Amino acid sequence: MVIAKKIIDLSNPNPDSNTVMKLKRIKNNLTEITTASNNQILVSYETPVAAHIEGVYYRTAKKWSKTTTRHLSFWLESVKAVEKEQSFFDNLMAVQA
């Protein structure tokens, strides 16, 4: 698996055309990635655990640590999210070489 070829911070006012993803640190060990197709992926520590894709929220069915559970609750707030297997989120992060 190859992770994105280029990652930039959302605060960059002039991202170039080679941008694959945008990275936004929400808090310690909690990051939101926005893809080129404008979908969001929530990463707790180094693990993708939730996503907002084409208007639908998804969360992992896998049980992680208390902190990751808090991260999910914080990001999803009162949103109803569809549960998916962890492999769904892992595949969102995979980029074909």
Structure tokens at 20: 């694959």
- pLDDT over threshold 90, residue 84: yes
The pTM (predicted TM-score) of the whole model is 0.77
- What per-residue string of b and e applies to 43-62 under the rule 16 or more CB within 10 Å gives b? bbeebbbbbbbeeebbbbee
pLDDT-derived band at 36 (thresholds 50, 70, 90) equals: confident
Q: What percent of the chain has pLDDT over 90?
A: 66
- pLDDT over threshold 60, residue 16: no
- pLDDT over threshold 60, residue 34: yes
C-alpha to C-alpha distance for 82 and 67, rounded to whole angstroms? 20
- Segment 83-89 shows an average pLDDT of 96
- Segment 33-62 shows an average pLDDT of 95
- pLDDT over threshold 50, residue 31: yes
Worst-scoring range by mean pLDDT, 6-10, 28-32, 74-78, 86-90?
6-10
Write down the mean pLDDT value for the chain.
83
